Amino acid sequence: MTPTETPQTGAETVRWDLSDLYSSPDDPQLTNDMDKARELAAAFADRYRGKVASLSAAELAQALAEFEAILRLLYQIGTYAFLAWSVDTQNPELGKLMARKDAHSTEIEQLVLFFELEWANAPEATAQLADAPALARYSHYLKQQRLLQPYTLSEPEEKVISQLSLTGSQGWYRFFDEVTSKLTYTVDGKELTYAENAELLFSPDRDVRQKAADAFTAVFNANSHTFTYIYNMVLLDKSSKDKMRGYASWITARNLANQVADETVEALVTAVTDRYDIVARYYRLLQKQLGYDELFDYDRYAPIGGEEPKVTWGAARDIVLQAFGQFDPRMADIARKFFDNNWIDAPTQVGKMGGAYCQSTTTEKHPYVFMNFNGEMGQVMTLAHELGHGIHGYLAQQQGELQANTPITTAEMASTFGEMLVFDYLIQQQPDPAQRLAMRMRKMAETFATVERQIALNRFEHAIHTARREQGELDTTQFNELWLETQRALFGDSLTIRDDYKTWWMPISHFISMHGYVYGYAFGELLVWALYAHYKQQPEGFADRYMDVLSAGGSDWPHKILAPLGVDLQDPNFWHEGLDLFEQFIADMEADAEA
């Protein structure tokens, strides 16, 4: 594909229908719901403030049900504002709605803040209520909240932090998204969105790939001051809050939220970084297949076997539904709802956020999927990924507002498993050995982007948080140096990372709004490779157990939820099971290439 082409995919008119939430930003029901949330929160505070530690199990269950009702309103309001804004970030009216939503959410949060604080600080005898039959629906949530007690502050302090977040972290998050969504990238005289330019990095034409990479570099360099300042402010905000709460490190809060021990995360990071040689082995094979004397950063996703055919939206839909249906018809039935009921927004456009996501709403509604579909085969995998999230969220709704959401240790499981199902399906449909090799090469590159690259991102994130706390404000050069150091460690001598790549840390939103999140992708991918091996070895009954795991949502500790699938997350050697499979996958490709 050349940069001047504008292919039609059929996704151009695939827009989501948000009327299940509100009909428009001016919908009177939205204002009514905001007022209702205030009323419920005020009544809740009057009824329970200062009394949480003295409630019986039945009374606490009633209080939690009322608390969930307030959260449902907040989630519905907040989700609508974000979804509407994310497809049109330059619309000032939607920007105002986002600000209004944030102010309202903070107001309600301050009214009900006492509840979780009083529970976290209640006497141990009260904490035993979490095991009472009347509280079975909320048991895990209550136990998890108790773990946060050492890091909670007084109610007045928590209120100050909440209020100041509007002009602190939340404000910077929104500004970052608005800055990145405005950027365009010029290739051969044509202005492209981030998604359109990123697509060119997968071109079989090396000159096109280099031009796309250079376009990214030029824009990042031109905006380096803005990005550097945003990063410094966000890192300072995080450092200040961590210090106030007494967290041992920048990652402690994330690990607690993920319900995973520091030792488990360290074992994951160590296992992956110790075996970066697997990545080098893959790129040596890629270099040989391409016939190049040297690979550069813009060659990371170079395809072999020529340009892949474009995929229409309808074909992508059919592939995903067929693959899901082969595993379990229930998966396909749920995924089909997203297409039939307009729960997906698919086209690319200027002003729309980049990337893809799945957003849950409330347990009385349904999730939505956000895409920038461009007709690339990789976008079929992205669609499967986000629909995996959607199926997970849909099934977990039965757990209620407080226990439906999962920590990232299991949040990426369903999405990555969905990708594996689609990849397996496509391989089965491809009779040409050369094309199967090309597909496997592509899959391995995407897997490395999800595992090894995400751990390299984690190492960069660790470096910038640590440097900001020890050295003070960082300049662009310091960010650049830390980025190149952590990225070059990943590829070793198998791929040359040019100095031009030094600013590519700038647009990665996870570093801004989801501190510490990225290792969750590696966690999920390695977990799924192990799970998929179990499934292929013993398929009988696996789908039923898998669907039960998704339905459990966040209602128990991750290691307990996953145990029925034969996974032991507490075994430090677990990660090597997935890494061994990667190595075998590459060995098989090497054999195919020689055949």
**Which CATH number belongs to the domain containing residue 77 in this structure?**
1.20.140.70
| φ/ψ of residue 529, rounded to 5 | -60, -40
**Rounded to whole angstroms, how far apart are CA atoms 571 and 263?**
10
Taking only the tens of pLDDT, the chain with its 595 residues reads: 455 455 789 999 999 999 999 999 999 999 999 999 999 999 999 999 999 999 999 999 999 999 999 999 999 999 999 999 999 998 999 999 999 999 999 999 999 999 999 999 999 989 999 999 999 999 999 999 998 888 887 888 888 888 888 778 888 998 999 999 899 999 999 999 998 999 899 999 999 999 999 999 999 999 999 999 999 999 999 999 999 999 999 999 999 888 888 888 898 999 999 999 999 999 999 999 999 999 999 999 999 876 678 899 999 999 999 999 999 999 999 999 999 999 999 999 888 988 899 999 999 999 999 999 999 888 999 999 999 999 999 999 999 999 999 988 788 899 999 999 999 999 998 888 888 888 888 889 989 998 999 999 999 999 999 999 999 999 999 999 999 999 999 999 999 999 999 999 999 999 998 999 999 889 888 999 888 888 988 899 999 999 999 999 999 998 899 989 888 877 878 888 889 989 998 998 888 888 6
pLDDT at 480: 98
415 in the same domain as 286? yes
Query: Does 31 map to a domain?
Result: yes
Count of structural domains within the chain: 2
282 in the same domain as 413? yes
459 in the same domain as 578? yes
pLDDT at 97: 95
**Rounded to whole angstroms, how far apart are CA atoms 472 and 467?**
7
Query: Does 358 map to a domain?
Result: no
131 in the same domain as 280? no
Query: Does 223 map to a domain?
Result: no
Residue at which a domain ends, from 167, 186, 202: 167
Residue type at 395 in one-letter notation: L
123 in the same domain as 267? no
424 in the same domain as 277? yes
pLDDT at 36: 98
Residue at which a domain ends, from 167, 200, 216: 167
Query: Does 114 map to a domain?
Result: yes
Domain region containing 146: 18-167
157 in the same domain as 264? no
pLDDT at 4: 47
Query: Does 368 map to a domain?
Result: no
For residue 407, what are the contacts with CB-CB under 8 A and spacing of at least 6?
Answer: 257, 258, 259, 260, 554, 558
**Rounded to whole angstroms, how far apart are CA atoms 85 and 357?**
14
Query: Does 298 map to a domain?
Result: yes
253 in the same domain as 163? no
Residue at which a domain ends, from 167, 196, 225: 167
Name the nearest CA neighbour of 372 among 182, 211, 199.
199
Query: Does 361 map to a domain?
Result: no
Query: Does 585 map to a domain?
Result: yes
Alpha carbon distance, N-terminus to C-terminus of the chain: 30
pLDDT at 306: 66
158 in the same domain as 273? no
- Please count the CA atoms within 13 angstroms of the CA of 98 that sit on its side-chain side: 22
CATH of the domain at 494: 1.10.1370.20
136 in the same domain as 43? yes
In this structure, what token pair is assigned to residue 49? 């403030």
576 in the same domain as 460? yes
151 in the same domain as 58? yes
